[in-house]
Structure 1
Amino acid sequence: MTEFDFIQQYLHRQQQDNELVLGIGDDAAIVRPRSGYDLHFSTDMLVGGTHFFTDVAPEDLAHKVLAVNFSDMAAMGATPRWALLSVALPELKQDWLTAFCDALFALARRFGVTLIGGDTTKGNWVFNVTIIGETPRQHALRRDAAQLGDDIWVTGLLGLAAAALDVYLHKTSLPAAVFAQCEAKRLRPEPRVALGKELLSLAHAAQDISDGLAQDINHILKASNVGATINVDLIPSLPDLRLSDAFLPAQLYHWLLAGGDDYELVFTAAPSQREAIMAAANRATTSVTKIGTITAGRELQLINHAGNVIQLQHQGFDHFG
């Protein structure tokens, strides 16, 4: 199979899209943005051995390749619309490609996203997606808009993916049923796009949690020139992780705060919006938990219920660490 056979047979699947003028098949795609909307552009690269193991099932890999990019759109309240996919693979195996592409396009259809281009080459397991989304003009969520006194919220459950990875790396062990839940979270994160759009009129600042909550909330603090206090005992996770006597506190705190790979949202909003946020979360079928407060200064303070300060050895994933 040649590169062009791969593109034509597996990637050339047009969807109904009123703003797509020209899709895959030419030197560049053409889209016609809607009047009254701002466009958002983001890109994420997943490298074999760094972001995923190369023996991962193609369906799981396809899901994650797109989902992590949809999560970036969700953090800004944007609707993902178009994607470009560049791939380096050591070889073209038809069964693997069929499974990968079927899962990729299934997730794209679920979120209304059209694949409009990219590139392919022979190489050692690299997937790079550029995602393009849109928000109503001047209504995007940004990192630089957190305000003093804001509540700090997170979506979903944190720490599961990091716990599953430690099992995979033989650093810890989990009961089979608990590991299955954690592994599902690691392999198939659910982008919070629906809630992100709901938050456009409710939240001040937002960020997706990809490298660890402590590191990612710090991006908001630095951009907004504020500080924060977070109660680590309020961070939502699996009860089997949080309540187990099998894990040292440092291990649990690492999973919750610095493990990364959660692909949930952390966002800030005025206390007056609490009831509206809970209603929005219900409409988006996404759980939300208030875990802290935006404060003066620029420091992140992590405490527990007893008021003890929690120290972290690492605040999150470092691609060059």
Structure 2
Amino acid sequence: MGEFDLIQQFFQSRSRELFPSFHADGSAAFAQIVQGIGDDCAIVQPPAAMQWAISSDMLVQGRHFLPDCDPYRLGHKALAVNLSDLAAAGAQPLGFTLAMALPAADAAWLAPFSEGLLALAAEHRCPLLGGDTTKGPLTLSITVFGQIPAGQALLRSGANVGDDIYVSGCVGEARLALDVQLGHVPIDNPVLRQHLIDRIEMPQPRLALGQALRGLATAAIDLSDGLMGDLGHILSASGVGAQVVADAVRQTSTIWHDPQLAAWSLERQNHYGLSGGDDYELAFTAPASLREQVAHAARQSHTPVHRIGQIVAGEGIELRDAHGNALPHAIRSFDHFNE
């Protein structure tokens, strides 16, 4: 199978079936994809009073996913981690490009991979616009495009002293899942084991929540490299510090009620929620006066959110227990070149 046959069979034809019209919306408030996959460039007609949100992520076999990863799930995750960046900006997806290095044009692998990728694309009305393929070690690179009403983007730099700190969903489960996959942590409960594997292989981008937080959140980031490190990016950009309650972070997940995990020390449990990566949840800040509005945004987007701390003057993160006692820590963000 040649390069162009591969594109046509697994991506171009299926994409056109899923997106027969490239109009994101009938109104002038939304961008129109004039020409999508199949030409040298995608052609996009931007609307007035909107701003673009653009992000790229790369996934490398052996670094970001295991060699035996299910290709359908890998297709889902490859797009999900990029859509999560749009969610953190409060953006609406418009489309994406895909560049792949493949060891071989393996139809048995490409079929489920493209199905997982394009199923998530269809769910979020985010058509494939184009890309590139070449032969080489399995590497996936996606660039996503989104749009935001001018001046309403969620950034890392707006957190203010007194703001509440929130996270969406469950934090720390994906990091525990990696230890399970690597055989470092055996899990006796098969239902719990599958739940954890789903969390690392099938993350759900919080796009609806991100859009609902426009005008409410003062800063936001998606959690890819661990809560303490990613929250630190907000603090650095905003020139503030934070107090985080470790117990509140741990309580975002119910997995610690499992008898096997409940027997672990609190320090070991807290480690996953505070330093673990690959959650692709949102961490964000909002004024304490807007707690009811944040709760409404969570309900509106069908996404649980948890208040885990407060922005304070100073710098860095003070970690505390439920009683307000300081907890020493040396947790840092994941860094590909220091691991």
State the TM-score, normalized to the length of structure 2.
Answer: 0.92
CA positional deviation for 1:169: 1.7
Asked if 2 retains the 8 angstrom alpha-carbon contact of 1:160 and 1:237, the reply is no
Residue identity opposite 1:2 in structure 2: G
Whole-angstrom distance in 2 between the partners of 1:154 and 1:42:
21
Which is worse superposed, 246-255 or 52-61?
246-255
Say which of 66, 72, 76 aligns to 1:53: 66
Say which of 231, 254, 268 aligns to 1:239: 254
Say which of 120, 132, 156 aligns to 1:119: 132
Whole-angstrom distance in 2 between the partners of 1:274 and 1:90:
50
CA positional deviation for 1:313: 4.0
Partner of 1:249: 266
Q: Gapped runs of 5+ residues in structure 1?
A: none
Aligned residue pairs total 321
- Pairing 1:42–2:55 present: yes
Residue identity opposite 2:190 in structure 1: A
Whole-angstrom distance in 2 between the partners of 1:49 and 1:41:
26
Whole-angstrom distance in 2 between the partners of 1:57 and 1:131:
23
CA positional deviation for 1:242: 6.1
Say which of 159, 183, 187 aligns to 2:197: 183
Query: Secondary structure of the equivalent of 1:143?
Result: coil
Partner of 1:294: 311
Asked if 1 retains the 8 angstrom alpha-carbon contact of 2:247 and 2:270, the reply is no
Deviation >6 Å, runs of 4+: none
Which is worse superposed, 211-220 or 102-111?
102-111
Residue identity opposite 1:282 in structure 2: R
Q: Give the 5 Å matches for 1:20-99.
A: 20-99=33-112
Whole-angstrom distance in 2 between the partners of 1:31 and 1:254:
44
State the TM-score, normalized to the length of structure 1.
Answer: 0.97
Which is worse superposed, 231-240 or 113-122?
231-240
- Pairing 1:128–2:151 present: no
Whole-angstrom distance in 1 between the partners of 2:318 and 2:257:
20
Distance 1:242 1:224, change over 3 A: farther
Whole-angstrom distance in 2 between the partners of 1:311 and 1:94:
52
Asked if 1 retains the 8 angstrom alpha-carbon contact of 2:52 and 2:147, the reply is yes
CA positional deviation for 1:246: 3.3
Say which of 293, 297, 301 aligns to 1:276: 293
CA positional deviation for 1:191: 0.5
Whole-angstrom distance in 2 between the partners of 1:317 and 1:177:
29
Q: Give the 5 Å matches for 1:96-175.
A: 96-174=109-187, 175=189
Q: Gapped runs of 5+ residues in structure 2?
A: 24-31
Residue identity opposite 2:277 in structure 1: G
CA positional deviation for 1:173: 2.1
Asked if 1 retains the 8 angstrom alpha-carbon contact of 2:252 and 2:306, the reply is no
Asked if 2 retains the 8 angstrom alpha-carbon contact of 1:242 and 1:252, the reply is no
CA positional deviation for 1:78: 0.3
Whole-angstrom distance in 2 between the partners of 1:108 and 1:21:
18
CA positional deviation for 1:54: 1.7
CA positional deviation for 1:318: 1.2
Partner of 2:240: 226
1:292-314: CA deviations, max 9, x gaps? 00000112111111333333443
Whole-angstrom distance in 1 between the partners of 2:273 and 2:106:
38
Query: Secondary structure of the equivalent of 1:129?
Result: strand
Query: Secondary structure of the equivalent of 2:203?
Result: coil
Asked if 1 retains the 8 angstrom alpha-carbon contact of 2:228 and 2:275, the reply is yes
Query: Secondary structure of the equivalent of 1:144?
Result: coil
Residue identity opposite 2:205 in structure 1: P
Distance 1:293 1:242, change over 3 A: farther
1:38-59: CA deviations, max 9, x gaps? 0011000001001001211111
Which is worse superposed, 84-93 or 310-319?
310-319
1:235-292: CA deviations, max 9, x gaps? 1443332673432333322210111000000000011110111111111110000010
Distance 1:259 1:242, change over 3 A: farther
Whole-angstrom distance in 2 between the partners of 1:309 and 1:165:
29
Partner of 1:264: 281
